[in-house]
Amino acid sequence: PCPLSPAMAEYRSLLEDLAQNITAEDLEQLKSACREDIPSGEGDAIATGHHWFAFLERHSKLDQANLSYIEHTLSSPHPSLPHIFEISRRPDLLTKVVQYRTQVLKISEEDDVDTKLTRIPSAKKYK
């Protein structure tokens, strides 16, 4: 296989880091939060954080330049739905995603990010 581009290597590193930090309990909550996007029968096959990210990539919910599915909302544009990592009570993981977006992708939505993070009180200590 051809070597990964630096950007792809960063992306893979981010997913690896996130996957290693997702507990079984986190995974169940994430799957539950995304149940509308998981075809029946496929949920059982998602047994690890690695499987979850692979599933999202396979279904075009996640790629190197687009982390919005895991970063912003769940499966639909309803503003009332909580943030995906907020559901898993893991604002530290959300912070990693935001850092990747701002540092690697150079996409900064400072005002937007600040308002999102203020909705998650425990995220402030990770900033």
Three-state secondary-structure class, residue 16? helix
CATH classification of the domain holding 104:
1.10.533.10
Q: Give the model's pLDDT for residue 36.
A: 85
- Tell me how crowded residue 22 is: count the other CB atoms within 10 A of its CB: 20
Q: Give the model's pLDDT for residue 68.
A: 84
Q: Give the model's pLDDT for residue 82.
A: 64
Residue 65 placed within a domain: yes
Ranges of residues in the chain whose predicted pLDDT is under 70: 1, 72-83, 86-88, 108-127
Residue 81 placed within a domain: yes
Q: Give the model's pLDDT for residue 45.
A: 92
Residue 118 placed within a domain: no
Q: Give the model's pLDDT for residue 16.
A: 96
- Per the structure, how many domains does the chain have? 1
Q: Give the model's pLDDT for residue 81.
A: 56
Q: Which helix (H) or strand (E) holds 102?
A: helix 91-103
Residue 27 placed within a domain: yes
Q: Give the model's pLDDT for residue 29.
A: 84
Q: Give the model's pLDDT for residue 77.
A: 42
Question: What is the span of the domain harbouring residue 48?
Answer: 6-108
Residue 113 placed within a domain: no
Residue 41 placed within a domain: yes
